[in-house]
């Protein structure tokens, strides 16, 4: 069975950078879509970015455009989220999720995803 494990979270100062990893095991991520979501206490879950593993097509949410980049290393069966110019409001638990692609559309909607990692805490504080 497919399992996802996030890592790379931590405490950083405003303006700093972190690189989150989503390591998949059990199944090779062929024909999967992977997405990053985040949720802060008392706030709604937000879709951050998504990627088609096979096609390499990506999408980042408007609120992280120009700062965050999603990518994949197929040889390592891992998806990354490079986060630059971090802001206080980026503080949240970040989770990755996976779903098999059944069409050509790239989406980043939580209800479409079946497999979830445990999450990793990102704290931006001065």
Q: Are 9 and 94 in contact (CB under 8 A)?
A: yes
Q: Are 97 and 110 in contact (CB under 8 A)?
A: yes
What's the 3-state SS for 105-126?
Answer: CCCCCHHHCCEECCCEEEEECC
3-state secondary structure of 82: strand
pLDDT tens-digit series, residues 5-23: 999 999 999 999 999 999 9
**Measured between alpha carbons, how far is 95 from 36 in angstroms, rounded to an integer?**
6
Residue written as tokens 């409001």? 89
**Measured between alpha carbons, how far is 86 from 25 in angstroms, rounded to an integer?**
29
CB proximity list for 32: less than 8 A, separation 6 or greater: 53, 54, 98, 99, 100, 101
What number of CA atoms fall less than 13 Å from residue 25's CA on the CB side? Answer: 7
> What is the predicted pLDDT for the residue at 107?
76
Mean pLDDT of the 57-78 span: 96
pLDDT tens-digit series, residues 42-61: 999 999 999 999 999 999 99
Query: Mean pLDDT for the chain?
Result: 96
Phi, psi angles (nearest 5°) of residue 89:
-70, -5
> What is the predicted pLDDT for the residue at 103?
87
């Amino acid at each position: 069975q497919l399992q996802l494990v996030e890592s790379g979270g931590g405490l950083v100062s405003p303006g700093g950078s972190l690189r989150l990893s989503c390591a998949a095991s059990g199944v090779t991520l062929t024909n999967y879509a992977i997405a990053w979501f985040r949720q802060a206490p008392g706030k709604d879950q937000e879709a951050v970015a998504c990627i088609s593993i096979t096609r390499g097509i990506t999408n980042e949410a408007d609120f992280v455009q120009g700062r965050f980049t999603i990518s994949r290393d197929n040889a390592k069966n891992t998806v990354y989220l490079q986060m630059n110019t971090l802001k206080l409001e980026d503080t949240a638990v970040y989770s990755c999720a996976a779903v098999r692609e059944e069409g050509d559309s790239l989406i980043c909607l939580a209800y479409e995803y079946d497999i979830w990692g445990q999450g990793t805490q990102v704290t931006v504080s001065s």
